[in-house]
A and B are shown apart, each in its own frame.
Chain A
C-alpha cells in the first residue's frame, strides 16, 4: 500500500511538472536572453517550410517572426512545431511565440493569447473536378483532413452526416482522395492551394470557389497573460501594415510571382481587433 502511495505521489509530481509554465514577462526575458524562440511549421509551404537550397526554414510566418525579432533587437531561433504540438510547446515555455498557421478560436484563446489577425483565409475543399457543385453533395461521404486542426471540427459541423477521417498530415489526405478513399480533402484554402499545386495529376481536381465553410483568421500565439509581449507584437503588426512591410511579405510569398508558387488574393488588412 505504501509503495502505491509513493508511486502515485511521484506520478502526480511528474504530472504537475508537465503543467508548469513560467508566468514571466517574455518581453523582458527575450531581451535579456538576446534571442526570440519562435515555433513555426516546417512543412507548410508558403508559411513555414524548408528551402531546398539553403536548408533553412522560410515563409510568411517566418518573416513576421524576423520582423518582430528585429524590432526587439534580438536574434531569432526557429523551432519546428506541428498543429498538435504548437500550443503545448508554447505553454510549457519551449517557445516564446507560435507563428504556425494557427486560427484564432475562443477555445484556444482560453489557453493562450493571440495577436491581431496577421493572415486571413477560409476553409474550402479539394474535390474531383465537377463532382461537387454545392456543399450538400458531400453529405454522407468520407472527407479527409489532418489531425489536431480546426478543419476537422468545422467539417463535422457543416456536414453532420459525413465521415471525417483525420490523417497524420495533409499529403496523406490528398493521397486518399487520389485513391478514391475520400470524396474531398478539407482545410484552409492556402494549404489546399499548395497541396494541389504539387499534385502530379492536379488537372483532375479543383477547389470549388463557392464552397467555403469557415473564416480562418490566423494569429500569433503567446502565453496567457503575457500582456507586455502581446502589446509589443500587436503594435509591431500595426506598424508593419502601415509601412507596407506586411503587404510586401504577403506578395513575396503569395503574390503572382511569389516564392511559394501559391497565388492568393490579399483580401485583408491588419487592423486592431482580433
Chain B
C-alpha cells in the first residue's frame, strides 16, 4: 500500500540540507530585524494613540485600523510592487540594485506587526493606574518622559505574554515573504520539493524548524522578563 518511500537523508545532509539551513538563516534575519523594529514602532504608535493631541491620536488610530485589518500578503505586494508607482525613478533604480525583496519584506512585516503590538502595549498602559501618570506629571516630568520612565516600563512588563504571541506570529508570517522572492525557510523547502519531489520530508523539516524557532523565541522572551525585568520591578 505504502509506495511512497521516505528519504529523510535528503533534508539532513548534502545540498538540500544546505538550502534549508540558508533558508533558516534568512528567516532568522528577517524575523529578528522585524521583531526589533516592530517593537520600537509599536511603542511609538501606542504612545501616539494615547496622546492628548488630536491629530496625532487620529493618525495613530487610522494607522492601527488600516494595517490591522488588511491582509499581510496584500501589504507585502504593496510594498514590493506598489511602491514603484509612488517613488521617484532615481529611488526605484537604486532600490532595484539592492536586495529590495528583503527590505520590502521587513517593511511589510514590521508595519503589520507594529499595529498589533501597539494595541497590546496600549492595553498594558491602561492597566497602570492613571494616578501614576498624574503623579509623574505633577512631579515635573513631561508627558513623554513620564511615559518613558514611569508608565511604559511597567506596561511592557505586563504586556510580555501578548508580545510573545506577536513575535511568534511575526516569525511564522515571515514565510509569506517567499511570495516576493525572499529565499527564506518555506521558499527553500518548496525549492527542495520541486527539485526532489520529496515535499513531505522538506516541509516536515521546515515545520520542525519553525517549531524550534518559536520555542526559542518564547524561551528567550520569558527568560528576559524573569531575569532582567522582574528584579527591577520588585513586584
Contact = CB atoms under 8 A, between A and B. Distances in A.
Interface of A: 15-16, 18-21, 23, 83-84, 87-88, 91, 107-108, 110-111, 144, 147-149, 152-153, 165-168, 172, 175-176, 179-181, 224
A148 B194 contact: yes
Nearest to B85: A179
B100 A19 contact: no
Interface string B179-192: 11100000100110
Nearest to A168: B179
Interface of B: 1-4, 6, 81, 84, 92-93, 96, 100-101, 178-181, 187, 190-191, 193-197, 199-200, 204
A172 B178 CA distance: 13
A88 B202 CA distance: 14
A83 B194 CA distance: 9
Contacts of A91: 4
B181 A165 contact: yes
A108 B200 contact: no
Contact of B2 (A19, A84, A176): A19
Given A87-B197, A111-B197, A165 B6 contact: no
A147 B2 contact: no
Shortest 6 CB-CB contacts between residues of A and residues of B:
A19-B4, A165-B181, A148-B194, A179-B84, A111-B197, A180-B96
Contact of B196 (A107, A144, A179): A107
B119 to A, nearest CB: 30
A107 B197 contact: yes
Contacts of A20: 1-4
A19 B190 contact: no
Contacts of A181: 96, 100
Contacts of B100: 181
Scoring A83, A108, A175, A224 by chain B CB atoms within 10 A of each residue's CB, the highest score goes to: A175
A16 B190 contact: no
Contacts of B4: 18-21, 91
Contacts of A176: 81, 181
A176 B181 CA distance: 11
25 contacts: A15-B204, A18-B200, A19-B2, A87-B197, A88-B199, A91-B4, A107-B196, A107-B197, A108-B197, A110-B197, A147-B178, A147-B190, A147-B191, A153-B195, A165-B181, A166-B191, A167-B179, A168-B179, A172-B81, A179-B81, A179-B84, A179-B92, A180-B92, A180-B96, A224-B3
